[in-house]
Structure 1
Amino acid sequence: MKVSKMGSILLTCVLSVSMVSACSSSNGNGDNSGSGTAKGNEPSNTEKKAEEAAGLNPSGFPIVNDKITVKGFAAKLFANADWNNLKLWQEYEKATNIHMEWDTTQKDSLKEKRNILLAGGEYPEVFYASAFSRSDLFKYGKQGVFLPLNDLIDKYAPHFKALMAKYPIIGKGIKMPDGNIYGLPTLYDPEFKSVFYNTPWVKKEWLDKLGLAEPQNLDDFYNMLKAFKEKDPNGNGKQDEIAWGAVGTTGLLGYLKGSFGLNNHGNSNAYVDTDPKTGKLRFVATDPGYKELLQYVNKLYKDGLLEKDIVSVKSEEIDAKGTGGLLAVIDNVDPVAIYNQQGYVGLPVLKGPHGDQMYTYIGSPLGNIGMFVLTDKAKNQEAMIRWMDYFYSDEGIKLFFMGWKDETYKEQADGTIDYTDEIKKNPDGLSLDQAISQYLVWPGGYYPGFVKQQFFKGAEGLPTSVENAKKSEALTLKQDQIWPAFNFTSEEQTELTTLATDIQTYVDEMRDKFIVGDASFDKWDEYAATLNKMGLDRYIQIYQAALDRFTTE
């Protein structure tokens, strides 16, 4: 039903505790939640008149005085969650006076559906949780299909603007080469250590049974895996234990790269870093340290210490072994969350053959930067930036991830919160993700917003994960050492797409061949020469140009 301005304010004030303090009259006296203009960026008289004509309140709730309808497109995880009848959006509509008319698709069909909408010109006002690539953001931004958000952020997104000020890497990472911002990102709180770095997990009971200490270097690591394979730590008289269980070799190499001095600016640009000897940009996969790394992992494979089908095994096969308690070391999130297996602890950061000891398999606070996009069809741009900005505030984050007190979460006397038993131990047998998706939209990881440890109760927020992060923190890259994924001009991206497809595909194919012995290390020079013929010099030049823009921003 249509709600008057006063009615909207009253409705807002009976929402959950997470939104109550957002209540304020439309004069903007509310101190934070839903606020619109940042101090020092007050709108001009012309802008004020435009806001008044549009019924827009520059701060507080409701965002607009008269209800508006906005068409949005989004990806979702579960098919049975109807976003048009989801409590999160229904309650937020009461607070904001903005009715979202959702067209959703499952994640598996996102790219196809998204591209069809854009190609046919039948796209919505808002793309939400649509995970546009950096190249698509720039492409459609230059075409005028996606709107630049710089001024809107400056005037109507104080929470996001404050995060940009606090963490400069955000602004540097989301600005395209033309200086415009075309999308709002998923952000991860740099203080939420366990969401960034989570070394593999080892079964402590088996270490203790075999009298093994946690490994400190590569020899220790080898000997530990060998003992798990040969000494029957589960005591069933069979050699059925898998020393290292994982899908693919990426996680193992990621764990070990820092022990060989590689990826010294993190994993967001996984194929390049800085050569510590020259200070120049380096292609990681031709460095002598990378060859040493592959030779070490090849030794692990030859001696049967890795999942025998590691380059081709399906996730369901590893999951079955994990659930059955057969994996000594697990390259994933905490096994208690995914396999219901207790008693695993994080592995230490290992010292390498030349004294390197750093965990570098870590990304920047920036997740996907194309999670919220306004198109040229958006009729209420200012209102929608305010709508989104709320979910970068503490109150919005709490609502987004936790929902409503005494309905989806309980609050303890010490102020800590957790989901209710109906969510955690659902009587209908639903998993936590399935149960909370009857109310909220975050499961599946596709959303714009700010992930904070206080309000995130997924696997990375478990106490064991937090402890694991603390264990490796001193030997992990610091945030100011980490590069975000770089942005490229249209011309660079066009050229790089072809180069990167060929080069990176070849690198990944040869990586696995070297590891399993299908390619001899005697062919290393031939491998490097092939990369040079593919245009590796030009590939590096393009990355250097992007790095130069990043460092001079």
Structure 2
Amino acid sequence: MRKNKIRKLVSISLAMLTVLSFTACGSSSKKTDTATLKDVSFPLKETATLKMLTSAPSISTQDPNERLIFQRLEKETNVHIDWTCYTDDQFPDKKNLALSKKDTLPDVVFNAGMNNNDLLRYSKQGVIIPVEDLITKYMPNLSKVLEEKPEYKKMITAPDGHIYSFPWIEELGSGKEAIQAVGDIPWINKKWLDELGLQVPKTTDELETVLKAFKDKHPEGKNDVIPMSFIINNGDQDPAILLGAFGFGDNADHYLVTNDKKVVYSTTQDGYKEGIKWLHKLQEEGLIDQEAFTQKWDTFVAKGKNDRYGMFFTWDRANVAANKEDYIPLPALAGPNGNVNVPRSNGYGFDLGRCVVTTADKNLELTAKWIDKLYEPLQSAQDNWGTYGDEKNQNVFELTENKTLKHLPLGAASPWEVRANQFVSGPLAVLDSYYGKYTTSPDDAQERLDILHKTYVKDMKADYNYPPVFMSQEDIEKLTQYETAVKAYTERKKAEWILNGGIDEEWDSYLKEMDNQGLSKILEIKQKYLDSYFAK
């Protein structure tokens, strides 16, 4: 009798579990059916949810739904985003971990930060999907951008013909006039020049004379003057632009393109050797900051804010100088043979792998149409810089009566800090054609564009720089392997030679070692893709 009761209870329990199991499956099935929306138009009649992974600056909120831009988007679309957000510094590791677990993938990685190798690798692993059909069927805003600027379609299309990501595009000038054309601007202390009765240098010899005057004559009675400072091999803080006085010059990644469309490596050119010898001479004369070869950004900035620099290198003088008005951009110098050249950087306002869709996303039409809203001109400008009407944070824009966005003056506030509290970044496009039509150009960006136009563009001899190209996985893996060794070696030698000299004696063995490390293979790969880019 007792056994029968037990059997009966077990049977009842199993039956209940079965019912519950079917109920759960039915609920899941129903959720999938209702989530897979067709003929989507905004706002949705019923709220839909997408899961997204993203990052945010550490100085701002870590809840994207607290940002006014996303609150407005949810109201306009009735799409709720279930965010997982990490600070920028944590994001790369957290993203890799999240994408390693296929059973818990987000629908979208919003600020994905993927290069072409990542995109090919994750697509091969079945983690992300190609999106070219989504663009064609559901994304008229992005399609319009790609039609107006077909070069971007080339940049986002993989060698296999697929598109695996949605890009970030920020145009501020183009070609030689692009805001990224020069990063490492040399800022010279005009206040000190005036105090000492000196003219702005026009040649390398004149600069040497000025730096000696800064050192010996103690402007403003200072005893801790640093005639010239930089951070060696640190992108915009490196003095590479000065080497243009001796030939091709140098830039952050050391790739230069000649006017006959050939790729050369800047640190193997004879002019580079002569430029390094000149910098070593300045070093021997005590004109270069002794910490320039070891210091980090914080130290570099601290000395600038203490008014110690006669000249320094960086993107924006306001980030380093105590008073930015004391400094002016130093024009391109003529070298010993009269050569004047401004080497162009390979910077672009373009990020290939800004946003990807994963294989977990079962609601592709909805996802594509939501992402496409981010490519609307007015929306893109806000995504990129910030918004208007925010009662909690300083506003980046005001919305004018004719429904255009006007940048507000930021006063003494840091542009980065103001924007970090509002912008959402992600996939977007701000084209040059938008300025004056949908939005104004940021004041700090316009100031920089004016400086480049007036001071540097006329002396840029190179008609081309190296564009973003989409390489095959095999080639990018080879390139990465060779580049790691070559770049580390050449930049170590650069620092050693400026500090200690010896470049003449070591030059031949150095060139041989560069080739042993794979430089010729690097240039072969880079040339292949440059040829293909121009052929298209």
Q: Same fold by TM-score, threshold 0.5 exceeded?
A: yes
Partner residue in 1 for 2:480: 497
Shift of residue 490, structure 1, vs aligned partner:
1.4
Shift of residue 375, structure 1, vs aligned partner:
1.4
1:135-146 to 2 correspondences below 5 Å: 135-146=117-128
Deviations 1:36-65 (A, max 9, x none): xxxxxxxxxxxxxxx9952413xxx43x44
Q: Decide whether aligned partners of structure 1 residues 494 and 384 sit closer, same or farther in structure 2, where only a CA change above 3 A counts.
A: same
- Asked whether the equivalents of residues 398 and 407 of structure 2 are also in contact (C-alpha less than 8 Å), the reply is yes
Q: Decide whether aligned partners of structure 1 residues 288 and 133 sit closer, same or farther in structure 2, where only a CA change above 3 A counts.
A: same
2:92 counterpart (106, 111, 114): 111
1:135-214 to 2 correspondences below 5 Å: 135-191=117-173, 193=177, 195-196=179-180, 197=182, 199-214=185-200
Partner residue in 1 for 2:356: 373
Rounded Cα–Cα distance in structure 2 between residues aligned with 1:332 and 1:118: 36
2:514 counterpart (531, 535, 539): 531
Rounded Cα–Cα distance in structure 1 between residues aligned with 2:128 and 2:210: 53
1:417 counterpart (402, 406, 409): 406
Rounded Cα–Cα distance in structure 2 between residues aligned with 1:526 and 1:483: 28
Q: Decide whether aligned partners of structure 1 residues 259 and 518 sit closer, same or farther in structure 2, where only a CA change above 3 A counts.
A: closer
Rounded Cα–Cα distance in structure 1 between residues aligned with 2:246 and 2:117: 32
Rounded Cα–Cα distance in structure 2 between residues aligned with 1:294 and 1:384: 52
Deviations 1:257-296 (A, max 9, x none): 43344269xx58x3333456x8643232212122122222
Shift of residue 107, structure 1, vs aligned partner:
1.5
2:316 counterpart (314, 334, 337): 334
Shift of residue 190, structure 1, vs aligned partner:
4.2
Q: Decide whether aligned partners of structure 1 residues 467 and 366 sit closer, same or farther in structure 2, where only a CA change above 3 A counts.
A: closer
- Asked whether the equivalents of residues 114 and 354 of structure 2 are also in contact (C-alpha less than 8 Å), the reply is yes
1:245 counterpart (229, 237, 248): 229
Rounded Cα–Cα distance in structure 2 between residues aligned with 1:195 and 1:410: 24
Letter in 2 for 1:78: S
Shift of residue 68, structure 1, vs aligned partner:
1.5
RMSD value over aligned CA atoms? 3.3
Shift of residue 214, structure 1, vs aligned partner:
2.0
Partner residue in 2 for 1:321: 303
Rounded Cα–Cα distance in structure 2 between residues aligned with 1:135 and 1:449: 23
1:233 counterpart (205, 219, 224): 219
Letter in 2 for 1:351: A
SS at match of 1:371: strand
Partner residue in 1 for 2:494: 511
- Asked whether the equivalents of residues 200 and 346 of structure 1 are also in contact (C-alpha less than 8 Å), the reply is yes
Partner residue in 1 for 2:38: 54
Partner residue in 1 for 2:6: none
More helix by percentage = 2
State whether structure 2 residue 269 is matched by structure 1 residue 287: yes
Shift of residue 369, structure 1, vs aligned partner:
1.2
- Asked whether the equivalents of residues 337 and 459 of structure 1 are also in contact (C-alpha less than 8 Å), the reply is no
Partner residue in 1 for 2:15: none
Q: Which structure 1 segments of 5+ residues have no match?
A: 1-50
Q: Decide whether aligned partners of structure 1 residues 54 and 472 sit closer, same or farther in structure 2, where only a CA change above 3 A counts.
A: same
- Asked whether the equivalents of residues 418 and 457 of structure 1 are also in contact (C-alpha less than 8 Å), the reply is yes
SS at match of 1:310: helix
Partner residue in 2 for 1:461: 445
Q: Decide whether aligned partners of structure 1 residues 369 and 72 sit closer, same or farther in structure 2, where only a CA change above 3 A counts.
A: same
Q: Decide whether aligned partners of structure 1 residues 511 and 459 sit closer, same or farther in structure 2, where only a CA change above 3 A counts.
A: farther
Shift of residue 458, structure 1, vs aligned partner:
6.7
Q: Decide whether aligned partners of structure 1 residues 263 and 390 sit closer, same or farther in structure 2, where only a CA change above 3 A counts.
A: farther
Partner residue in 2 for 1:5: none
Partner residue in 1 for 2:53: 73
Rounded Cα–Cα distance in structure 1 between residues aligned with 2:178 and 2:465: 16
Letter in 1 for 2:277: Q
Range that drifts further, 67-76 or 479-488: 479-488
State whether structure 2 residue 387 is matched by structure 1 residue 403: yes
Aligned residues: 484
Shift of residue 125, structure 1, vs aligned partner:
1.2
Q: Decide whether aligned partners of structure 1 residues 478 and 302 sit closer, same or farther in structure 2, where only a CA change above 3 A counts.
A: closer
Letter in 2 for 1:286: T
Rounded Cα–Cα distance in structure 1 between residues aligned with 2:455 and 2:136: 38
Rounded Cα–Cα distance in structure 1 between residues aligned with 2:67 and 2:462: 37
Partner residue in 2 for 1:271: 254
What TM-score comes out, normalization by structure 1 length?
0.78
Range that drifts further, 507-516 or 170-179: 170-179
Shift of residue 135, structure 1, vs aligned partner:
1.1
Letter in 2 for 1:72: M
Rounded Cα–Cα distance in structure 2 between residues aligned with 1:96 and 1:163: 22
Q: What's the % identity of the aligned pairs? A: 25
- Asked whether the equivalents of residues 274 and 280 of structure 1 are also in contact (C-alpha less than 8 Å), the reply is yes
Deviations 1:171-198 (A, max 9, x none): 2222222222212222221427573235
Partner residue in 2 for 1:541: 524
SS at match of 1:327: coil
State whether structure 2 residue 66 is matched by structure 1 residue 85: yes
1:384 counterpart (367, 392, 397): 367
Rounded Cα–Cα distance in structure 1 between residues aligned with 2:531 and 2:428: 28
Q: Which structure 2 segments of 5+ residues have no match?
A: 1-34
Partner residue in 2 for 1:100: 81
- Asked whether the equivalents of residues 372 and 448 of structure 1 are also in contact (C-alpha less than 8 Å), the reply is no
Deviations 1:507-538 (A, max 9, x none): 11111111111654311111111122223222
Rounded Cα–Cα distance in structure 1 between residues aligned with 2:341 and 2:144: 31
Return the index of the structure with the highest Cα Rg. Answer: 2
Range that drifts further, 326-335 or 397-406: 397-406
Partner residue in 1 for 2:17: none
